[in-house]
Amino acid sequence: MQTLHPLFITLHVLSVVVWVGGMFFAWVVLRPTAAQQLEPPARLTLWAGVFARFFPWVWVAVVALPVTGYLMIFGRFGGMGGAPLYVHLMNGLGTLMILIYLHVNFAPFRRLRREVAAQNWPVAGKQLAQIRVLVGVNLLLGLAVVAIASGGRFLVPG
Ligand code: HEM
């Protein structure tokens, strides 16, 4: 298992790059630009299409992160009991991020697609507003977990 550690950490960090980087681009770059330039029908249709293309990649990440994470925990630390504090924090906050994503996918995103297809723009707008808040929370959590996992481990005791 130890010999596969380089593979696990690589897949783990690539998943983080795709998921957190994608959220950063969506929230910080695309969101204000679309709000400024597009009327609700075009904007809501754009977001339904953007999420439909982004979320399959997030599914890969939310499966790969815990799988590779637990493989590393058992391979390198011999189980949860031997894992340092930064790994416990990552596990807790990472699980919270995954639960938030699952909610976004199965509740407001599903409704957004339905309401956009029905051209029910006010209700579709409410779904997008919910997604915006939840993805904003997940983006902040994701950035915090990266800080804890990479830099924070030198600050907090094991
Ligand atoms: C969901 C459960 C997760 C588990 C069980 C987990 C577990 C782990 C483990 C065991 C390591 C290797 C630590 C080491 O060898 O020192 C690691 C590395 C890392 N994890 Fe996670 N992780 C999870 C989720 C996440 C999430 C959601 C993020 C970011 C949003 C993340 C970001 C990172 C980063 C950036 C590293 C590399 C740290 C470095 O080597 O500098 N992890 N993770």
Grouped pLDDT means (10 residues each) for the chain, 158 residues: 90 98 98 98 98 98 98 95 94 98 98 98 98 98 96 74
Domain count for the chain, please give it. 1
Evaluate: CB of 22 within 6 angstroms of ligand 1.
no
Ligand 1 atom 32, closest CA: 146
3-state secondary structure of 84: coil
3-state secondary structure of 86: helix
Give the pLDDT confidence score for residue 61 in this predicted structure. 98
Give the pLDDT confidence score for residue 55 in this predicted structure. 98
Give the pLDDT confidence score for residue 52 in this predicted structure. 98
3-state secondary structure of 60: helix
Long-range interactions of 117-120: CB distance < 8 A, separation 24+: 119/41
Distance 156 CA to ligand 1 centre (A): 15
Domain that holds residue 119: 2-154
Give the pLDDT confidence score for residue 152 in this predicted structure. 78
pTM: 0.95
Evaluate: CB of 23 within 6 angstroms of ligand 1.
no
Q: How far apart are CA 129 and CA 81, in angstroms?
A: 40
Evaluate: CB of 145 within 6 angstroms of ligand 1.
yes
Evaluate: CB of 54 within 6 angstroms of ligand 1.
no
3-state secondary structure 99-155: HHHHHHHHCHHHHHHHHHHCCCHHHHHHHHHHHHHHHHHHHHHHHHHHHHHHHHHHC
Q: How far apart are CA 26 and CA 53, in angstroms?
A: 12
Ligand 1 atom 22, closest CA: 69
